[in-house]
Amino acid sequence: MPTSEDPSGGLNFAPTFCPPDEEDEPEEESEEPQEPEEQAAESEEAEAEDAPPPPPTITTSDFLDLPFEPAGVSFEPDLVGFGYLNRHVNIFAEVETQVISQEMLGYDVDIRALPSQFHWDYGDGTTRTTSDPGEPLPEFDSAGFEVNRTDTETITSHAYSETGRFPVTVDTVFLGEYRIDGGPWIAIPGSATLTSEPGEADIWRISSRNVSGPCEDLGSWGCNGPIELDEGDSPPKIFEDQYDDHGNWIGQQG
């Protein structure tokens, strides 16, 4: 190390500077620029997180789980199932298109059931399938004549060959459709079949006899009301308010 001589006779050390070792210098971190593909991927991930979920798809299983109502079995309102042997009883299904609305995954979803086929069981072993639910008879036909409500054949009527009370049911086949947020209707695969509660056809025989004159005794044949009841019989619904609990005719009430 170089020195200088102090005038006072001592040695004087000159300051020196040693540069730090290059290995001791802190390393600077640098980020490499992203490739365009990486930037696009990150952008798509961010957009996917912000995007709404895809709209729901309604399956056959979803459709079958919904609480749609079956059709109802109906008869002529003023006959309530009453009919005569070997004459047509008009029977029809009361049914309409049903819509159930609910929110799914943030979407407003409408699901509807459309009646398409009707499988009838008339309770006497006779069955039939129609595409029409039937309807009540009009009061007059197209020619202006009064319609016979106890013997007019329709697409859904039935003529019974035996007397008695028969449970009538109808299985209705519903097709399904759904729409999202009021958009177009989309068909749902498959169908749902719903069975009605039974209605009752009450079939009676018509009898006629010659009589000597007007009724003077209620015990005489044909004088005990519109229905001749055998022991154990009960009157049909259409006339039940005209008989007492013992089957005796008490006349029209009201």
Q: What is the mean pLDDT of the chain?
A: 84
Cα–Cα distance between 64 and 111 in angstroms, integer? 11
The domains found in the chain, sorted by start residue, are 60-206 (2.60.40.10), 207-254 (no CATH)
Contact 165, 201 (CB under 8 A): yes
With pLDDT > 70 as the criterion, what percentage of the chain qualifies? Answer: 74
Q: How are beta strands 164-180 and 98-104 bridged, if at all?
A: unpaired
Is pLDDT of 151 > 70?
yes
pLDDT digits (tens, 9 = 90+) for 20-71: 555 555 555 555 666 666 666 666 665 656 788 999 999 999 999 999 999 9
Segment 84-116, tens digit of pLDDT: 999 999 999 999 999 999 999 999 999 999 999
d(CA 112, CA 175): 8
- Dihedral sign of CA atoms 36, 42, 43, 44 in order: positive
The verdict on pTM exceeding 0.75 is no
